[in-house]
Amino acid sequence: MHAIVAEIEGGDYQGAGKGSKDIKEILRKVGVDANTIRRAIIAVYEGEMNVAIHAYNGVLRAAITPDALEVIITDTGPGIPDIEQAMREGFSTAPPEARELGFGAGMGLPNIRRNTDRFSLDSTPGKGTTLHFSVFLEPGVLERVNASAITIKQEKCIKCLRCLNACPTQAIRIRAEGPEILRHLCIDCTVCMDVCPQGVFDMDCADDPPPAPGSGILIAPDALFGQFGPAIPRSAVREQLQELGWHEHLYIQHAETALFQAASDFALNEKTAGLGFIPVCPAVLNLIQLRYPSLIPYVLPFLSPMESIRDRLLTGLAVFVPSCPAQSALVRDCGILSPSTRLHPRNLAKSLLPRLQWSRTGTVSDDTVSEPPPCLIITGMRRVCQFLDKAERGLTEDCVLTALYACENGCYGSPVWETPPAVAMFRAKSGGGIIRDERLGPLYRIKPLVPRAGVRLDTDMVKAMKKLREIDRSCKQLPGRDCGVCGAPTCMTLAEDAVMGRAVLDACIFRNNSPGHESGAAKETDR
C-alpha cells in the first residue's frame, strides 16, 4: 500500500491540486491504464478544489493498492445543508472569485460521482464535510467487493434438495460434492441458511479471529438483546459488553429508526408521490437490482443502515457484527483507510452467554429504540417477492412508505439467531430512554443503485437471443417435472445451465432412461 497525505487550505486555489499531482505520478509508476488515471485524477482534483472553494481547511488522505485508489477528504467548514441539492448538476454556492477562475459551476460533486466507483459524502452543517471515494484500478474488483457472503460446507450436505427449491433467485445447484451457489445470482437473502437442516450454509465472517475487545467501537444488531432468556434485560447485556471491554457500542436498530424517520420526512416534504421503498434490508436491495430493476427508481435515496454507519465511521477501528450475509458483504471491504473487522454474531453471543446465565439487572443507563413513524412493513422472502411482483405491475401505488425485509420480523429473524424472531424482538424492545447519536443518521445515497447483470445471458444482445432460443429448444427435451434431481431447481434452469456451459442435459435422469421423455416433452409444450 502506498499512502499520501496532503493538506488543503481554504481559498488557496493555487495550492489545491498538489495531492492530485502526487497521486497521478504514483498511478503512472504503478502502470495503471490512462483512462483510469484520468477518472481518478478528475475526482481527486475536484475534491481538493471543493475544499479550497468552500471550506476553511482540509486534509486529503489517499491510499493506493493494486486494487483501488481510496481517498478520504475531510474538511472543516460550513458543511452542506442539503446534499441532494448539492449533487444536482449546476447547483453551486461558490464565491465569485472561484467562478472567475472557472470553478464553482456546480459540477464538482457530480463530476466526482461520475468518475468514481464508490462515493459517499457525510456532512454536518456548521462543522464540515467528509468525502470518501474509491476508483477501482483493475477490472473485476467491483464484483469481488459485491460478491455474496454465503459460505458453504459441502461435506455436510445430505442432498435433501430443500435449499434448491427454496432459493428465490434459483442460484443453487446441487453437484456431486454438494451445493454450489451461482454467485452472480445470489442476493444473500439467508433463505438457504434457514431451510438447511444440516447447517451447510453460513455467513463468511465466521472464521475471522475475534478482535480483541476494547480495541474499537462495536456495531451490533439489536437482536442480540433477545438471545439470553426472559430474565436478562437490555441493560444487563450492555453492561456485560462493557465488562468484556467493548466500551463503545452502537446498535443498527437505532440507525434503522433514524432511516425510517428520514424516509418519512423525505416523503412528506415533497419528492415522492406513491410507492417508495425504505432501503433498509440490503438483501432486498440486491433482489430489486437483480430481479426487479424497473423498481429501482422507487427506492428512496438513502444508504441502508449498515452502509451509513460504515461510511460514517471512517476513522478508528470499527468492529461490525452483521446480522446476515448481506450486511456482512457490505462491511467486508470498507477500504484500507477505514480499518474494520467483522465478528460473527454467534461468537459474540457465545462470549456473552456464560456471563448472563442467571437473572440479573443491569446498572448502565438504559437505551431503547424510539418508535419509528408508521409505514408498511413486509417481512420474509416469500412475501417480499409477492409484494414486488405486484409492485412491478403497478398494483401497490397506495403503499406509500414500504419497508421490506428478507428475514421474518426483520433482522430479528435472521437464521444466525436461535431465539424465535418475535420473541427476540419483544425482548429487545422493552426498555426505556432513547439514544440519539449523530453517527446513526442515514446518509444520502450518492451513487444510485444500478441493475445487476445477473440474469443476462450475454452482453451481446444478438447472441443472447440466440441462447434464449437454444434454451427453449433444450427445455422441450426435458420432462418439465422440476424435480431437482439433476441438481438444478427447474428444468428451465438445467436447460439454461446447459446452454451456458455449466451443466449437461444428460444430467436429467428421465431424459435418458425413460421412454416417456417424448410425452414429457409434449407436456411441456402443452403448458
Partner 1 sequence: MKLDLLRDKLGFRPLVILEDRTIDICSVYAGDRMSDLLAAASGSTLLVTHLTNHGIVRLIDLMDVPALCFLNGVHPDQDVLYSAKENETFLFTSPYDMYETCGRLFQLLNQH
Residue ranges binding ligand SF4 (CB under 6 A) = 148, 150, 157-163, 167, 169, 171-172, 174, 179, 181, 186-192, 195-196, 198, 200
Which CA distances in Å does 78 have to 33, 56, 267?
37, 8, 27
Instruction: Tally Cβ neighbours within 10 Å of residue 35.
Output: 8
Picked from ligand SF4, partner 1, none, the partner binding residue 105 (CB below 5 to 8 A depending on kind) is: partner 1
**H helix and E strand count, the chain:** 20, 16
Question: Which residue number, 71 or 192, has a Cβ lying nearer to ligand SF4?
Answer: 192
Secondary structure class of 67 (helix, strand, coil): coil
Query: Which contacts qualify for 165-171: CB closer than 8 Å, 24 or more apart?
Result: 165/484, 165/489, 166/191, 166/192, 166/194, 166/195, 167/191, 167/192, 167/489, 168/287, 168/381, 168/382, 168/385, 169/287, 169/290, 169/291, 169/454, 170/488, 170/489, 170/490, 170/493
Q: Closest Cα partner for 507 from 186, 174, 167?
A: 174
Instruction: Identify which range of 36-44, 146-154, 246-254, 358-366 contacts partner 1 by CB under 8 A.
Output: 36-44
Shortest Cβ distance from residue 40 to partner 1 (Å)? 10
C-alpha neighbours within 13 Å on the C-beta side of residue 128: 16
What cell was used for 329? 458483504
State which of residues 102, 140, 209, 515 lies at the interface with partner 1 (CB under 8 A).
102
Does 1 interact with partner 1 (rule: CB under 8 A)? Answer: no
Residues in contact with partner 1, counted by CB under 8 A, come to a total of: 22
517 is a contact residue toward partner 1 (CB under 8 A): no
In the list ligand SF4, partner 1, none, the entry touching 46 (Cβ below 5 to 8 angstroms by class) is partner 1
Q: Which is nearer to ligand SF4, 186 or 388 (CB)?
A: 186
Nearer to partner 1 by Cβ, of 116 and 289: the residue is 116
| Contact flag: residue 73 with partner 1 (CB under 8 A) | no
- 324 CB-contact burial (10 Å; exposed 0-12 / middle 13-18 / buried 19+): buried
CA distances from 26 to 37, 132, 349, 522 (A): 10, 20, 45, 64
Reference 454, options 282, 289, 283; nearest CA is 289
Q: How far apart are CA 75 and CA 412, in angstroms?
A: 38
Which of 8, 17, 443, 480 forms a contact with partner 1 (CB under 8 A)? 17
CB nearer to partner 1: give 50 or 304: 50
Examine residue 26 and tell whether it contacts partner 1 (CB under 8 A).
Answer: no
What DSSP letter does each residue of 90-158 carry, written as one string?
T-----HHHHHTT--SS-HHHHHHHH-SEEEEEEETTTEEEEEEEEESSTTHHHHHH---EEE-GGG--
* Min CB(20)–partner 1 separation in Å: 5
The single residue among 3, 5, 7, 14 that binds partner 1, judged by CB under 8 A, is: 14
For ligand SF4, the closer of residues 53 and 196 by Cβ is 196
* Minimum separation from the CB atom of position 224 to ligand SF4 (A): 22
Q: How far is the CB of 286 from ligand SF4 (least distance, A)?
A: 8
Q: Confirm or reject binding of residue 61 to partner 1 (CB under 8 A).
A: no
In the complex, the smallest distance separating the C-beta of residue 49 from partner 1, rounded to whole angstroms, is: 7
> What are the phi and psi torsion angles at 39 (to 5°)?
-60, -45
- Tell me which of ligand SF4, partner 1, none is bound by residue 111, counting a contact when its beta carbon lies within the kind-specific cut-off of 5 to 8 angstroms: partner 1
Does 162 interact with partner 1 (rule: CB under 8 A)?
Answer: no
Partner from partner 1, ligand SF4, none contacting 200, C-beta within 5 to 8 A by type: ligand SF4
Beta-carbon neighbour count of residue 94 at 10 Å? 17
- The reply to whether 51 sits near partner 1 by the rule CB under 8 A is no
Is residue 429 at the binding interface for partner 1, with CB under 8 A as the rule? no
Please tell me what DSSP assigns to residue 299.
B
Minimum Å distance from CB 405 to ligand SF4? 14
3-state helix, strand, coil in the chain (%, to 5): 40, 15, 45
Q: Which of partner 1, ligand SF4, none does residue 107 bind to, with CB < 5 to 8 Å depending on kind?
A: partner 1
Q: List 340's β-bridge partners, or say none.
A: 318
Tell me which residues in 104-133 interact with partner 1 (CB under 8 A). 105, 107-108, 111, 114
User: ∠ CA(222), CA(228), CA(230), 5° rounding?
Assistant: 100
**Binding to partner 1 by residue 24, rule CB under 8 A?**
yes
The CA distance from 352 to 243, in Å, is: 10
The answer to whether 328 contacts partner 1 (rule: CB under 8 A) is no
State whether the Cα torsion 276-278-284-290 is positive or negative: positive
Least distance from C-beta 239 to partner 1, angstroms? Answer: 53
Asked whether position 19 contacts partner 1 by CB under 8 A, the answer is no
The helix/strand/coil state of 267 is: helix
- Report what 2 binds from ligand SF4, partner 1, none; CB cut-off 5-8 Å by kind: none
Q: Report if residue 20 touches partner 1, rule: CB under 8 A.
A: yes
CB under 5 to 8 A by kind: which of partner 1, ligand SF4, none does 384 bind? Answer: none
113: left (phi over 0), alpha (psi -120 to 50) or beta: alpha
Q: How far is the CB of 16 from partner 1 (least distance, A)?
A: 8
List residues near partner 1 by CB under 8 A.
Answer: 13-14, 16-17, 20-21, 24, 34, 38, 41-42, 45-46, 49, 101-103, 105, 107-108, 111, 114
